[in-house]
Structure 1
């Protein structure tokens, strides 16, 4: 059976509300989703994968490993120092090859989990390759690779293993490992790369990669070997080593010059953009979405009776994010349409479709959100 068409991340109805998908979900959910039983009652991280419209617990040993063909839900329950109250961050993560149904189910079930917890959870949309720093901070190793529900638990048989090339870089405190195309065009001098052939694991350290990246990548290489009971031999090369030939041969040869680390960084750096505040309100009897401020945003500009979209622009060291702030007195229509308008804003204002989106209830603002606001 062919995989359904991948989701369009700019789709304004990603949760499938009001569609046949929602009807299917309501039928399958019945009164209560069993996957939520007992969650959110202690400090912990929980991960689930969407499988055929169902929420399935992801093995703890695989936390941090995500497949591009799937969608996941991640719940982080945490406490502030000296405060017994529990806080919740719910993320739905969408792989680049996930289907519309899987993405819609993840989004829908995230809302359901939010309702179940009922204690001001903060909701986040995460897209593969553009994960927020908060999401990455949950995992010591954040590892994405091709595949999905059908291939996620395949045991590695060296004789039949399909080679994979991974790019390794350190982001904050997290090691981010991403499967890339097996080609010298995927290589740059600023990162570390690991070619896993099943029987051998070949690590290439880009000449301007950091010592931290090289050391953490070596840990990952050893883990791959350990998972195969040492059957895979690990070799480490510097980019300019004459003996790095096995690595280059394994990816089809060094075809042309290797991209510099500076050029690779420039290509993945989004264009400059100012902070922007937009209001969604139906107080006139018609739902209106308009810009309220640009460049500087004050907390006093937020109104409890409406919904606001806050574009962080190039705030601080973190990548751009969109926040959907839900006022306590916002009505049902404003709440229900908030995500759609946030996605429409992204689509029509030059923002990447993969930008992280966080839904923030008034009174449950995260530290990251408050840092975006000006004093």
Structure 2
């Protein structure tokens, strides 16, 4: 392996671009009595490796063949600067390296999930995506995407269920992967688009509705008409939402939308952005701009999902990124990871947030007048 400090310097310059000399010296040699001299020595080594070092006043940048822009350095099983010694560098640079690893791992995980959604034999792809080194801690939305694709009774399904139970802070009301996926999407909030055959989503969607209503949540069903083009479908949907929210109880924040795919695609992207306090489950369309959570119906979903044998053991396998913070000196980690680990989660009820969680926000903002509410 190349010497760590010149290698770290090269990686930083290639990714971050032009950087003042003093900043580079402080990042790499925070405890040195002469960090500028250390920087000069490392720059000489970079030139000896064939790296083009560019000087612009007091700023430095570098040019060298690299796959860092495409994320190729973090392919499956690889890691950004994996094995490079980080001792002796500043906490800021250490956090930068760890954060970059997590960012590239997240990109790789996204690629694997997209590939898994396109094939029927997806178990290996899902396992690779879940156990990817340095992957970020899974959000509810990430769990929803995995659950919508995995088979019931697998080791991966067991791990996903346990992660979802941690977010729930209680026993999950169901072991059905698709129902769990919808509940995870509901926890994520915002818009969840259900891609694929609407008829095959219906049983799981009906189950989620029953679970939410049993927990005291109010669920509305609205249909988006085809319209006549232009703003017709969007205006009709806005009018329906306004009427529904005015006539419903304060906790009416979950709306199931149905309609023709072209009507949903035309009406929703702009309309939904104006209703931040409402959870939407959209059946029959996909977003044109890719906004919101998209769940893919697995090809093998035929109404009968294989279950786990009674008494079968389930091994808890958290994603490889989970213990990252615990392994760092002093508990340091990338800013995003640290926020996730330290963020307090209020306890949830049997099907989600406690009864006061949603009703604590009883106002629903109008998309046409964001400064006013609908008085619910």
- Calculate the TM-score normalised by the size of structure 2: 0.27
Give the structure with the higher percent strand.
1
Question: Which has the higher relative contact order, 1 or 2, with Cα contacts under 8 A spaced 6 or more apart?
Answer: 2
Give the structure with the higher percent helix.
2
- Calculate the TM-score normalised by the size of structure 1: 0.28
